[in-house]
């Protein structure tokens, strides 16, 4: 990959005029590693003055100031956790897009799992019920025979009403057991 | 009995939605209340060479008002502030992001409601105070602790209901 | 004049809706055919009136009638004609009118296409829809009239929000509303079933095509919203778990569960109660979405201007509709379980599993969206719940569903053969797993997320193909002709599932392999990203119809030598002074190249953000395929057959054969 790129760059540089005018663009930052770390952190932080944007995307004035503040904190050697802590000290949990796990948010974090477990429990109960369900014994043997005859007989084009088809399909399923 | 559960869940949800109508999702309470006011030393607007720092007013109850020359609501507040405050308590101003350096001439022209206004040119001190909009006002007590943060302009009603009682308590 | 006529139309429609919402229901209860017969003409007349009202508003926009307040607030003299038209639904009032017109449209459609259904059922369905219309029309008339006049007449309007001045705005709301409102039909069917006391396979069969069609529209609507955000918001994101996005996703999740539950109810008469509850829930979520977006309860980029009074009205309406239907459910849901038995491993049980996971995912999204509100209302402070939460809970809940997609269609009803299934699926499983595990290694190295995503996508694709193979193996004759003769419902299912697989590929790859650079670019400077070379040629000023743009020129060359030019813009809109970035995107089947202007640095230099997004197009392609599948399934001939041969005597053989043997969804 790199070889091709170098070839391309060389080729472009050799073209008249391009080589001289074309400077590589400088990154918009002096420290790309720090910047990447900043962006990663800022994605999970809320721009507190915007309607609903992360600190990473927002172009609001305060958002840019906050990013600068975070940059300085990181340059001063603060860890990600320390940076987040200092922001929370000033803006509250509101600034976090990832809600902290504390008693106030147990329901939030535990909820989805609870929903799943309840759903599974209900489903298992239903399955159990359905397995042991006895067929309705109120269908007369004549009706069963009639259904079988209709199924086997030749298939003329009378689909009949949807109601009858529903009943008959149920009848036929009982019969096939 | 199980059939009534969906209705019950919805009823609970409905109550919360109703309550939500009268809340403001953008009003964020400040976690700084009850904590020491962040320290700073900033130049004073209109008095070159002078600086101000909160430690200078230790032992007094005072207000810190965050404003900006480009904030029309703040300027409106300036007009009424001296009357409401009526020298009850010193008011200091924090000029936020005054990039065009308009604060000094503006305060000179309109009259300043502040004992002194400091220039927070790059907005870094305001961030330490968790400022999100202008105007905002902090009440700081004799020990330098933030006791209240009010977001938005101070109206006479707000002054009566929120500021007066607190000031009475702090200054006694 | 036109505006007043529009207002009058709405009032008239309300009167008709009041009749439609009461008389046919009484008629159905009493068995009075004359009363029931009123339903259809009433629905159709209402539709005509609302089309007129909508046209009146659109006319006011197109002719720059600034005496109408809505036009003054949302239009502008220089606004291009297309956006003037879409501004009709760019405001709360206008979009509500669109909602109501579409509701009348669905009612009219039911009145026209529901011929094979028994009169009683149609009367009830239309009656319920009439009642819902009453709510919306009342809301329009009493609190949100789009036809209010303004005096003195302003010289010019305040312009449509620039974010809305995009192609996405033309199509996203109408399609989205077609979906939201379409579920009112499923809802009405559910209520009709509860009222009549009849809840069986036949009811499911009638309800199904309507539900699937609504789901198809909603799928398109949500997909378009996502595409629009991608184009408009300038940072290349396509889903942010914003409350309004969630408001559209929730009915979609419920709707997906619903169409799958309906399959079981139609085929085997099982899960009737659950299906009814789900239909009520889906429409309730549509209404909830409407409430959330318009009431100011949640903070969102997308929300309409907020007003607690309106919010209260909508909430009361929501309470009546949902509360009423859930009460009816509690009272009338049949105590007897219908349908037969089925085993632990069967298509029914797999559909049940599908529902369990989808509903859990739905619950998670609902919880996350409303949790800040819960805490705030209880005075417990303010928190934010954003993408990190949703991504963390949603993916694990949806992944199992994706896995089930591979098994369900191949499982038999009532009792599936485990050995048979394992045998059929073993190759699909193995090949998918190995490919998915190895592919990341050829790129950046081991990546579990990518492996999981690719495995699920390949698994679905292989099992879809296997499904075709199984279907065709019993017949002889030309393959192509056999394929053409397969039921549309089967094709629909396969295409929709395949679309899902494409979507998963898109999401997985773009989330893990997209790259970006944020750079300062003087004129003539270049930048390399993912093998592409970008040369910046500066920004020039260019006036647009209602804005002044700084238009950048970026020459791009692909690794294969192809070159193209992109023109990202930064627009300053004349009326509002709002500044908006318009990203420039080069769309491709395997990647998008995305350029967005930042800020000027002086001397013609600018900061620029450049993105390379591999496979992002598969997101939209997958969504389209998903919708196509839905459309096909809804158009299955068995729904038409009943229509053509309505008057035939009661014989049972034909449809039995078509239902029982084929195993179509």
Tell me the CB-side half-sphere exposure of residue C631, using CA atoms within 13 A. Answer: 11
Question: Is the residue at C95 inside a domain?
Answer: yes
Q: Do A97 and C363 touch (CB under 8 A)?
A: no
pLDDT class of A22 with cuts at 50, 70, 90: low
Q: Do C247 and C264 have their domain in common?
A: yes
Within 10 Å of residue B88's Cβ, how many Cβ atoms? 15
Question: Is the residue at A10 inside a domain?
Answer: no
SS3 category, C524: coil
Could you please state the CATH topology (level 3) that the domain comprising B36-171 is classified under. Glutaredoxin (3.40.30)
Domain coordinates in residue numbering, chain B: 36-171
Cβ contacts of C205-208, under 8 Å, gap ≥ 24: C205/A162, C205/A166, C205/C266, C205/C638, C205/C639, C206/A162, C206/C114, C206/C116, C206/C117, C206/C121, C207/C262, C207/C279, C208/C259, C208/C262, C208/C263, C208/C266, C208/C634, C208/C639
Of C102, C135, C165, at which residue does a domain stop?
C165
Check whether A48 has a pLDDT greater than 90: no
Rounded Cα gap, residues C35 and C33, in angstroms: 5
SS3 category, C33: helix
pLDDT class of B111 with cuts at 50, 70, 90: confident
Q: Which residues, numbered 19 to 78 in chain A, qualify as contacts with chain C under a Cβ-Cβ cut-off of 8 Å?
A: 21-29, 35, 43-44, 46, 50-54, 57
**Which residues of chain B does A62 touch, with a Cβ-Cβ cutoff of 8 Å?**
123, 127, 132
Q: Do C315 and B26 touch (CB under 8 A)?
A: no
Within 10 Å of residue A43's Cβ, how many Cβ atoms? 16
Question: Is the residue at A77 inside a domain?
Answer: yes
Q: Do C136 and C174 have their domain in common?
A: no
Q: Do C213 and C237 have their domain in common?
A: yes
Question: Is the residue at A26 inside a domain?
Answer: no
Considering only residues A52 and C178, tell me which one the structure prediction assigns the higher pLDDT: C178
Q: Do C277 and C287 have their domain in common?
A: yes
What CATH number is attached to the domain comprising A49? 1.10.8.640
Question: Is the residue at C646 inside a domain?
Answer: no
Low-confidence residues of chain C: pLDDT under 70: 301-306, 335-338, 475, 640-665
Question: Is the residue at A138 inside a domain?
Answer: no
According to the model, what pLDDT value does residue C137 have?
95
Question: Is the residue at C272 inside a domain?
Answer: yes
Tell me the CB-side half-sphere exposure of residue A141, using CA atoms within 13 A. Answer: 0
Across residues B92-120, what is the average pLDDT? Answer: 89
According to the model, what pLDDT value does residue A17 have?
37
Give the residue from B97, C177, C61, C364 showing the smallest Cα distance to A110. Answer: C364
Q: How far is B26 from chain C (nearest CA, A)?
A: 7
Total domains present in chain A: 2
Interface of C with B (CB under 8 A): 277, 280-281, 284, 291, 295-299, 308, 311-312, 315, 318-319, 322-323, 326-327, 329-331, 333, 370, 372-374, 376-377, 381-382
Q: In the structure encoding, which two tokens stand for residue C212, read together?
A: 């699937």
Instruction: Report whether B63 contacts B87 (CB < 8 A).
Output: no
Rounded Cα gap, residues A55 and A46, in angstroms: 5
According to the model, what pLDDT value does residue C235 have?
75
According to the model, what pLDDT value does residue A4 have?
57
Q: Do A97 and C384 touch (CB under 8 A)?
A: yes
DSSP structure string for C307-362? -HHHHHHHHHHHIIIIIHHHHHHHHHS-SSPPS----SSSHHHHHHHHHHHHHHHH
Could you report the per-residue pLDDT of C496-551, keeping only the tens digit for each?
999 999 999 999 999 999 998 888 888 889 888 999 999 999 899 999 888 899 99
Of C165, C195, C218, at which residue does a domain stop?
C165
Question: Is the residue at C621 inside a domain?
Answer: no
Identify the closest residue of chain B to C281 by CA–CA distance: B6
Question: Is the residue at C611 inside a domain?
Answer: yes
Q: Do C95 and C221 have their domain in common?
A: no
Type and span of the H or E element at A95:
none
Q: For B16-161, where are the E strands, in sequence order?
A: 42-43, 51-52, 62-67, 91-96, 116-120, 136-140, 146-151
Q: Do A49 and B133 touch (CB under 8 A)?
A: yes
Of C135, C165, C195, at which residue does a domain stop?
C165
Instruction: Report whether A52 contacts C240 (CB < 8 A).
Output: yes
Question: Is the residue at C380 inside a domain?
Answer: yes
Report the b/e string of B102-117 with b at 16+ CB within 10 A: ebbebbeeeebbbebb
Please name the member of B122, B128, B133 whose beta carbon is closest to the beta carbon of A90: B128
* Domain range for A125: 100-132
Could you report the per-residue pLDDT of C370-408, keeping only the tens digit for each?
999 999 888 888 899 999 999 999 999 999 999 999 999
Instruction: Report whether C89 contacts C71 (CB < 8 A).
Output: no
Cis peptide before C152 (omega within 30 of 0): yes
According to the model, what pLDDT value does residue C184 have?
96
Question: Is the residue at A146 inside a domain?
Answer: no
pLDDT class of A115 with cuts at 50, 70, 90: very high
Check whether B16 has a pLDDT greater than 50: yes
Which of the other chains make 3 or more beta carbon contacts under 8 angstroms with chain C? A, B
Rounded Cα gap, residues C514 and C612, in angstroms: 6
Q: Do A48 and A89 have their domain in common?
A: yes
CA distances from B131 to B45, B94, C13, C496 (A): 20, 11, 51, 50
Instruction: Report whether C302 contacts C249 (CB < 8 A).
Output: no
Question: Is the residue at A72 inside a domain?
Answer: yes
Q: Do C632 and C571 have their domain in common?
A: no
Question: Is the residue at C109 inside a domain?
Answer: yes
Give the residue from B111, B49, B35, B105 showing the smallest Cα distance to B78. Answer: B111
Total domains present in chain C: 4
Question: Is the residue at A71 inside a domain?
Answer: yes
According to the model, what pLDDT value does residue A170 have?
54
Instruction: Report whether C374 contacts C304 (CB < 8 A).
Output: no
DSSP structure string for A163-175? HHHHHHHHHHHHH
Question: Is the residue at A123 inside a domain?
Answer: yes
Across residues A64-91, what is the average pLDDT? Answer: 91
According to the model, what pLDDT value does residue A163 have?
44
According to the model, what pLDDT value does residue C648 have?
45
β-pairing, B136-140 with B62-67? Answer: antiparallel
CA distances from C90 to C140, C246, C305 (A): 15, 20, 11
* Domain range for C125: 1-165
Q: How far is A65 from chain C (nearest CA, A)?
A: 15
SS3 category, C526: strand
Instruction: Report whether C385 contacts C372 (CB < 8 A).
Output: yes
C-alpha angle B157/B159/B161, rounded to 5°? 70
């Amino acid at each position: 990959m790199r070889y091709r790129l170098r070839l391309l760059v060389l080729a472009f540089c050799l073209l008249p005029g391009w080589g001289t005018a074309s400077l590589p663009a400088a990154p918009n930052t002096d420290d790309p590693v720090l910047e990447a770390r900043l962006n990663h952190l800022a994605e999970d932080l809320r721009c507190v003055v915007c309607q609903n944007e992360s600190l990473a995307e927002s172009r609001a004035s305060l958002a840019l100031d906050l990013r600068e503040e975070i940059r300085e904190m990181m340059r001063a050697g603060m860890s990600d956790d320390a940076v987040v802590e200092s922001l929370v000290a000033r803006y509250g949990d509101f600034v976090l897009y990832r809600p902290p796990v504390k008693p106030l948010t147990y329901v939030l974090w535990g909820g989805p799992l609870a929903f799943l477990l309840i759903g599974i429990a209900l489903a298992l109960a239903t399955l159990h019920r359905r397995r042991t369900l006895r067929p309705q014994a109120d269908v007369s043997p004549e009706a069963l025979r009639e259904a079988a005859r209709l199924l086997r007989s030749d298939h003329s084009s009378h689909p009949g009403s949807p109601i009858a088809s529903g009943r008959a399909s149920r009848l036929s399923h009982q019969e096939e057991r | 009995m199980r059939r009534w559960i969906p209705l019950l869940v919805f009823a609970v949800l409905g109550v919360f939605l109703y309550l939500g109508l009268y809340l403001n999702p953008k009003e964020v309470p400040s976690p700084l209340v009850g904590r020491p006011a962040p320290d700073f030393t900033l130049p004073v607007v209109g008095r070159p060479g002078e600086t101000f720092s909160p430690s200078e007013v230790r032992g007094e109850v005072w207000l810190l008002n965050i404003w900006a020359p480009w904030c029309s609501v703040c300027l409106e507040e300036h007009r009424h502030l001296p009357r409401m405050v009526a020298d009850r308590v010193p008011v200091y101003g924090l000029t936020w992001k005054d990039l065009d350096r308009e604060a000094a001439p503006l305060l000179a022209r309109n009259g300043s409601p502040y004992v002194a206004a400091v220039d927070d040119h790059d907005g870094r001190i305001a961030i330490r105070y968790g400022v999100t909009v202008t105007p905002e006002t902090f009440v700081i007590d004799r020990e330098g602790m933030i006791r209240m943060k009010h977001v938005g302009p101070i109206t006479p009603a707000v002054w009566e209901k929120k500021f007066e009682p607190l000031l009475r308590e702090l200054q006694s | 004049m036109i505006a007043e006529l529009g207002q009058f139309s709405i009032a008239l429609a309300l009167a008709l809706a009041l009749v439609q919402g009461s008389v046919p229901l009484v008629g159905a209860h009493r068995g009075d055919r004359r009363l029931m017969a009123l339903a259809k003409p009433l629905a159709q007349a209402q539709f005509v009136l609302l089309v007129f009202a909508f046209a009146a508003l659109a006319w006011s926009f197109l002719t720059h009638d600034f005496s109408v307040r809505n036009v003054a607030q949302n239009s502008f003299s220089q606004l291009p004609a297309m956006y003037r038209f879409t501004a009709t639904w760019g405001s709360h009032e206008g979009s509500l009118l669109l909602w109501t017109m579409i509701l009348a449209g669905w009612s009219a459609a039911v009145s026209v296409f529901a011929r094979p259904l028994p009169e009683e059922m149609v009367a009830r369905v239309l009656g319920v829809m009439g009642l819902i219309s009453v709510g919306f029309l009342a809301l329009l008339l009493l609190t949100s009239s789009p036809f209010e006049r303004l005096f003195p007449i302003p010289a010019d309007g305040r312009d449509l929000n620039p974010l809305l001045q995009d192609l996405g705005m033309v199509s996203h709301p109408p399609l989205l509303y077609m979906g939201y409102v379409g579920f009112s039909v499923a809802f009405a069917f559910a209520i009709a079933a509860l009222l009549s006391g009849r809840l069986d396979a036949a009811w499911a069969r009638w309800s199904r095509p309507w539900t699937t069609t609504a789901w198809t529209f909603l799928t398109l609507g949500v997909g378009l919203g996502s595409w629009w955000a991608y184009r408009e918001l300038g940072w290349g994101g396509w889903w942010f778990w914003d409350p309004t996005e969630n408001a559209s996703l929730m009915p979609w999740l419920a709707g997906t569960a619903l169409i799958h539950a309906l399959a079981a109810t139609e085929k085997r008469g099982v899960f009737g109660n659950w299906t009814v509850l789900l239909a009520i829930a889906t429409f309730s979520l549509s209404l909830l979405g409407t409430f959330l977006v318009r009431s100011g309860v949640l903070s969102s980029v997308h929300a309409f201007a907020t007003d607690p009074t309106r919010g209260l009205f909508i909430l009361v309406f929501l309470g009546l509709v949902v509360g009423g239907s859930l009460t009816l459910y509690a009272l009338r849901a049949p105590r007897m379980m219908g349908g037969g038995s089925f085993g632990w491993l069967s298509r029914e049980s797999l559909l049940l599993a599908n529902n369990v996971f989808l509903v859990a995912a739905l619950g998670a999204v609902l919880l996350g969206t409303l949790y800040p509100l819960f805490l705030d209302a209880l005075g417990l402070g303010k928190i934010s719940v954003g993408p990190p939460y949703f991504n963390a809970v949603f993916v694990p809940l949806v992944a199992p569903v994706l896995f089930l997609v591979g098994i369900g269609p191949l499982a038999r009803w009532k009792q599936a053969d485990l050995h048979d299934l394992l045998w059929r699926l073993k190759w699909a499983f193995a090949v998918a797993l190995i490919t998915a595990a190895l592919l990341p290694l050829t790129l950046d190295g081991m990546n579990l997320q990518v492996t999981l995503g690719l495995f699920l996508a390949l698994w679905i694709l292989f099992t879809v193909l296997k499904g075709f193979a199984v279907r065709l193996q019993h017949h002889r004759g030309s393959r192509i002709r056999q394929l053409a003769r397969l039921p549309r419902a089967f094709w629909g299912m396969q295409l929709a599932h395949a679309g899902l697989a494409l979507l998963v590929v898109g999401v997985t790859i773009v989330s893990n392999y997209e790259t970006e650079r944020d750079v300062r670019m003087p004129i003539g400077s270049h930048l390399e990203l993912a093998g592409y070379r970008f040369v910046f040629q500066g920004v020039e000023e260019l006036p647009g119809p209602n804005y002044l743009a700084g238009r950048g020129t970026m020459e791009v060359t692909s690794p294969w030598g192809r070159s193209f030019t992109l023109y990202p813009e930064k627009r300053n809109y004349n009326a509002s002074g709002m500044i908006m970035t318009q990203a420039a995107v080069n769309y491709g089947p395997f990647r998008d190249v995305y350029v967005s202007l930042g800020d000027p640095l002086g001397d013609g230099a600018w900061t620029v953000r450049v993105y390379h997004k591999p496979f992002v197009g598969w997101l939209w392609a997958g969504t389209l395929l998903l919708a196509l599948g839905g459309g096909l399934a809804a158009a299955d001939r068995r729904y038409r057959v009943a229509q053509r041969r309505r008057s035939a005597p009661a014989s049972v053989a034909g449809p039995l054969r078509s239902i029982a043997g084929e195993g179509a969804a």
